Amino acid sequence: MTIPLGPIDIAVLVAYFGAAVVVGVLVAGRIRSLDAYLLGDRNLPWWVILGSIVATETSAATVLSVPGESFGPAGMRFLQLPLGYMLGRLAIVRFLLPLYFRGELNTAHEVLRDRFGPTMQRAAAVLFLVARNLGDGLRLFLAALVFQKLTGLPLAWSVGAMGAVTILYTVFGGLRSVAWNDCLQLVIYVLGGIVAVFVILARIPGGWPAAWEFAAAHEKLRMFDFSLDPANPYTFWAGLVGGAVLSLGTHGTDHMMVQRYLSARGERDAARALLTSGVVVFLQFALFLGIGVLLAAFHGLGGEAPPARPDEVFAAFIVNHFPANTGLIGLLLAAILAAAMSTIASSLNASASSMIHDVWLPLREAAGRREPLSPAAALAVTRWLTVGFGLVQVAVGIAAAAVDSTVVSRALTIAGYSAGLLLGVFVLGVTTRRVGQGAALVGAAAGLAALLAVQFVLPGQGIKVAWPWYALIGSAVTFAVGLAASLILPRVEVDR
């Protein structure tokens, strides 16, 4: 599948990449401290944090694959999941957000240090770093596949080119650059989605009335499914309960999101950004699911055979039916790349933040070097860490080209395990006092074993569990086993 780029489309893409770098440099200002570099001096406007939250949780897979879900049998039932996301956000604001605004915390994992001790802090940080860089390296690979089609470059060069631009503005501008670029990228991919709606409608015989009639006749507009099948990811219960717990993990304990809350001017602004982001994400999903429904009507009413894989249907329409050399193809490709780069940039900055505060500086102090690093030295180390994590993700993206796509999708699921495990540990810390560091680590190990069994062992026995339940299973097993282990392993007070 070759993308027919004309000079105007190329100009749009070049303008986007240039704007990303320029915005990153201009908004960064003069950075003299880690707080400025990693937390934007804790002074970002709430609406910038809102845009950064939404763009960070949106990847190229969202833009391309979500229309494939509604094109297939799921229809608009996918929207049950963001309902759970909103419920999870309410719980975060009520129970977890206050923890992050007690004192001057730098990472989410410092809450675990204060409750359990430094070993748990480092263990949580390592889990976050491995899962985050593996998952986002694979997301970089998926986005680079699109970039390869538009440039004709080898895949390794495509991965490297996208990685290089993202590393560049992240290294120089820090979180302030990342957050403002996230807002730019959010506007671009939403605008691209809106343009796609009108282009698809123009290609459907009979236009909007015919598309609506087709969607209603084929139950594409049905939103709720109250069945109790645990293998079905698109039920009301999987969406509301599984989605809420998943959101509690991904937005309540994942440092990539917590870093954004800590950059706010206060807890109230952070809560405002987080709660509003739930509504924006719901509307965003509705937009891209609507594109999938329209594509189903386009193929159903026009008689044209769709691609074999539903997640390729949107990309195929862009290639075959968008008007050439008008800038629209360039805009849609910029939207796909923008969604990918927003996640990757946030990942690099959050990884550097966790590494310096949760691992590097504590180990340096434990080794007896108690004199603090100068602000300039700490900033230099953090920037080099950002480059290092960028190179790791590029390497993962290049290596993914040699891996079967099924393995890639499974690895992406495994990368999300950290949400359930960390949530279980946080719940142990917040709701109990007798559970110590050793028992919590035992609980997390049991949670990981349970998730691996659910994904790889149970299907062989004919038992399938849909992925929205994974975070609930991981957190529940972590909590239950950690609580039980505390009866055997006495809590030991540690030097914090």
pLDDT digits (tens, 9 = 90+) for 242-290: 889 989 988 999 999 999 999 999 999 999 999 999 999 999 999 999 9
Closest C-alpha among 190, 170, 233 to residue 383: 170
Domain boundaries, the chain: 7-403, 416-496
- Specify whether the backbone of 47 is left (phi greater than 0), alpha (psi in -120 to 50) or beta: alpha
Q: Which residues contact 170 (CB under 8 A, 6 or more apart)?
A: 24, 177, 178, 345, 348, 349, 386, 390
Q: Which fold has domain 7-403?
A: Sodium/glucose cotransporter (1.20.1730)
Look at the block and give the residue holding tokens 């390497």. Answer: 395
pLDDT at position 408, please?
Answer: 52
For residue 424, count CB atoms less than 10 angstroms from its CB and return exposed for 0-12, middle for 13-18, buried for 19 or more: buried
pLDDT at position 165, please?
Answer: 87
User: Helix, strand, or coil here: 343?
Assistant: helix
pLDDT at position 283, please?
Answer: 96
pLDDT at position 451, please?
Answer: 92
pLDDT beneath 70: ranges in the chain: 1-4, 149-151, 370, 403-416, 491-496
pLDDT digits (tens, 9 = 90+) for 333-346: 888 888 888 889 99
| pTM listed for this prediction | 0.90
Q: How distant, in Å, are the alpha carbons of 108, 171, 244 from that of 255?
A: 5, 18, 18
Cβ count near 87 (within 10 Å): 18
pLDDT digits (tens, 9 = 90+) for 189-235: 999 999 999 999 999 999 999 999 999 999 999 999 998 888 888 89
Contact 321, 199 (CB under 8 A): yes
Q: Which residues on neighbouring strands pair with residue 264, listed in sequence order? A: 44
pLDDT at position 491, please?
Answer: 66
pLDDT at position 60, please?
Answer: 73
pLDDT at position 411, please?
Answer: 56
